[in-house]
Structure 1
C-alpha cells in the first residue's frame, strides 16, 4: 500500500484558489459554530444547582446529563466524519449545527430528567463530528505552511467556547432562570446555522487543488497508512491527558490548597483555560514559522513543548500554594497545549485531503480516549489514595511518554518520506 506521506516543505500558497479574505471569513463563521458547539455543551454545568433544586436530581444524574454528550461524541465522531467526507462537508456541518441548536432548545423546554437526557443525547449526536469536519474545512482554504497555526487557532475555540458557555449561561440563569441559558445558546447556534451555508459554499472551497477529484480516491486505510501518523495520534492523545486532568481538578486544587470559594476558584480556573487556548494558537504559529522548510521539524517542536511542560509543571506542584505556583501552572498549560497545532498539521500532511475529516476524527478519538476521558478519572483515583496534591505532582510524568511517542513519529516520518521519494523515482 502506498504511504500517503507528502513533503510539507514543498507545499505553498498555490494549493488554495480562494482569496485570503474569503479564507478568513470561512474561518470566522466555522469558528463561530465551534464556539456554539462548546457553549451548548458546557452551559449545563452552569445550571447544575438550579436543576438539582427544581427536579431533586442526584449528583449521579447530573453527571449523566453531562457525560451523555461526551459518550455520544466519542462513539459517533469517526463514523459521522467519514460520512461527511463522502456526503459533503458543508451540508454535513449545517445539519450538525441545526441538530445541536434544536436539541439545546429542547433542553430549555424539558420538563423532567428523562426529557433533558434525550435532549442532551441529541446535542452530543449533533456535535460529534463538528470539530474534525470543521477543521478539515478551514484547512482546505489555507496554505499548508499555515496548518499548525490554523489548527491551533481553530481548536482553541473549544476552550473559549467552554468558558463562554459556563460564564454566559450562569449570568442568564441568574437573571432570567435556567431555561433562558439554554435558549440563549440555541438562538446563537441557530442564527449561525442559517448564515453558514449562505457564506460558505461547497463548490467554492472545493475548487482548491487540495479538493481535486481527478486524483485517485484515497482509501479509508490511508487514515492509519503510515507509522508516523499512528504515533502522531498516540503522542497527541497522551499529551492531552495533562490538559484533561488539570482542567478537571484545578478548581478543586484551588479550593483545597488555596481555600478559594467555589465561584472564585472557577474564575481562576477559567484563566488557565484561556492560557491553554492561547498556547494552542501561538505555539502552533511558532511551529509553522520554524518548521516551514522541514516536514519533521514540527515533531521536534512538539517534543520541546512536552519536555518544557514536564519541567514547568513538575516545579509548580513542588512549590507551596502561592502566586509563583499559579504562574507556573498557567505557563505549563500554555506550553502543554502547544502540541495541538503541530499534531493537527502533521496529520494533515500525512493523510490525503479528501479524508481529512476522518483523519481529524481519528485524532479527536485518540485525544478523548487517551487524554480527556482518562485524565480526570486517573487523577481522581490517585487522589483518593494519595491526596490531590500528590496526584497532581504525578501528572507531568505523562509529558515524557508523549515526547517519546512524538520522537518515534519523527523517526518514522523520515523513513516514510525516504520510501515515498524512492517510489517517486522509480515511477
Structure 2
C-alpha cells in the first residue's frame, strides 16, 4: 500500500476537515496581511515620501524572502513537525505585520516586511502537504479549491477593510488590527494531526539530502514546467494585487476606501473561481488523463486576455465587468496546480515539492514583478498612465505561464502513474 493511502486512512473525517479549516483561515489571514500594504501604498508614499520604484522594492524583498526560505522551510517541515511549523510561522508573520505599522522610514517598512515573508513561506510549506495527505486523490482538487478560496477572500478583506481603516484612521492602524488573528490561529494549528507520525518512511527516504530532493523534483517533467508556469503566472498576479489599488486611486481620483471596494469586489469574485477551479479540475481529470493541467492552461489563458481588456478600459464600466470576470478566472488554475505538485511528487517530498514551487514562483518571476512595474511606472512619469502601461506589460507573464502549463499537461498522466507506483 502506498504512503498516501495509508495517510488518508489514519485521518478521521473531523481531523481532515479541522486541518483544512485552520489552514484555510491562516491562508486568508496571510493574504489579508499581504494586501494591507497594497491598499495603503498612497498613504505610505505621502507620509514617507517614497516613489513607485521604492514601494516596488519593498514588495520584491518581501517576496524574495519567501523564496529564500520556502525550500528550507519545506525541508524542515518534512522532517520535523508540520503543525508546529505552521503555528510558529503564523505567529512570526503576525508579529512583524504589527511591527510594519511602526515603520518611520523606507528601512522601517522594508525589514519587517521581509520577515513577514519568512513566516508566510514556512506556513504554506507545512500546510499544503497536510491538506493533501488528509484527503484522497479523487477529492484533493476540491479540498485545494476550498483552501485557495482563502486567497480571494483574504485579498478582498485586506483591500476592503484595509482601505476603510486607512481612510478613517491611519494606515498604521490597518497593520496593527490585522496582526492579531494570526496569533490566535497559530495556537489552534498546534492541534492539527501530522501525517508524518502515522507512517514510517524508509531510512533512505528520510535521509535524502536537501539538494538531492531538489534534483529529484526537477527530474519530473510535469513539475519542471509547472514550476516555471507558476512563476510566469505570478508575474501578472503579483503586479495586479500590488499596483491596481494605487492605479484606481490615480485614474479615478478616489480614496483608499473606494479603491479597496472596487479591487476588493474583483478579488471576491475569485472565491467563485476557486470553487469552480477545484470542481472542474477533478471532473476533467476523471474524463481526461491530463485534465488538471488542462484546467490550469485554459483558466490562465482566459484570465490573461480578460485582464488586458479590463486594463485597456481602465477598470471602468465594461472594463470593470471584465475585471470581475478576470477575478473569477484568475484563480481557476490554483486548485489544479496545488494538487498536481502533490500528485506527482514522491510521498516523502510532498512539502519540498510545494516549497520548490514557491521558490521558483518568486525567484523566476513573481518576486521581481512589483519592482519592475514600479520602475517602469517611474520611468514613464508615474501617475495613472505610466502605471497602466506597466501593468499591461506584466500581463505577458500570464500568457507565458499558460504555455508552460500546456507543455506540462503532456507528461502529467505518466508522472502521476509513476508516483502511484513508488
- Quickly name the TM-score band, shorter chain normalised: 0.7 to 0.9
The equivalent residue for 1:312 is: 306
Alignment of 1:34-113 (within 5 A): 34-45=27-38, 56=48, 58-59=50-51, 66-107=59-100
Q: How far apart, in 2, do the equivalents of 1:61 and 1:149 lie?
A: 39
Inter-partner Cα distance in structure 2 for 1:50 and 1:394: 25
SS of aligned partner of 2:340: helix
- What is the distance in 2 between the residues matched to 1:114 and 1:325? 37
Residues 148 and 343 of structure 1 are in contact (CA less than 8 Å); yes or no, is this contact kept in structure 2? Answer: no
Work out the CA distance in 2 between the residues paired with 1:111 and 1:260. Answer: 25
Supply the distance in 1 between the matched residues of 2:17 and 2:391 (Cα, whole angstroms): 39
Q: In terms of Rg, which structure is larger?
A: 1
Which of the residues 24, 27, 31 maps onto 2:20? 27
- Pairs within 5 Å for 1:18-417: 18-45=11-38, 56=48, 58-59=50-51, 66-107=59-100, 117-172=110-165, 180-197=173-190, 199-202=191-194, 205-206=195-196, 212-213=200-201, 217=205, 219=208, 220=213, 221-255=215-249, 258=252, 260-261=254-255, 263-292=257-286, 294-316=288-310, 322-379=316-373, 384=379, 396-414=395-413, 416=415
Q: Aligned pair in 2 of structure 1 residues 381, 22: CA closer, same or farther (>3 Å)?
A: same
Using a 3 Å threshold, how does the CA distance of structure 1 residues 163 and 201 change in structure 2: closer, same or farther?
same
The question of whether the paired residues in 2 share the 8 Å contact of 1:239 and 1:336 is answered with no
Q: In the aligned structure 1, how far is the partner of 2:304 from the partner of 2:37?
A: 33
Q: Is the 8 A contact 2:229 2:404 kept in 1?
A: yes
Of 245-254 and 334-343, the range deviating more from structure 2 = 245-254
Structure 2 gap ranges (5+): none
Q: TM-score, normalised by structure 2?
A: 0.80
Q: Secondary structure at the match of 1:217?
A: helix
Q: Is the 8 A contact 1:236 1:340 kept in 2?
A: no
SS at match of 1:40: helix
1:268, CA displacement in angstroms? 0.7
Distance verdict in 2 for CA 1:308–1:63, change over 3 Å: closer
Residue aligned with 2:332, SS: helix
Partner secondary structure for residue 213 of structure 1: coil
How many residues are aligned here? Answer: 409
TM-superposed CA distance for 1:162, in Å, is: 3.4
Structure-2 change in CA distance of 1:51 and 1:377 (3 Å): closer
Give distance in 2, aligned partners of 1:48 and 1:315.
25
Does structure 1 conserve the Cα–Cα contact (< 8 Å) formed by 2:38 and 2:241?
no
Instruction: Tell me if structure 2 keeps the 8 A contact 1:244–1:371.
Output: no
Query: Residues 242, 126 of structure 1: CA spacing in aligned structure 2 closer, same or farther, 3 A cutoff?
Result: closer
Q: Per-residue deviation at 1:242?
A: 2.5
Contact 2:149 2:271 in 1 (8 A): yes
CA RMSD of aligned residues (A): 3.8
3-state DSSP of counterpart to 1:72: helix
Deviations 1:388-413 (Å, cap 9, x if unpaired)?
Answer: 55555555554443232222212233
TM-score w.r.t. the length of structure 1 is 0.80
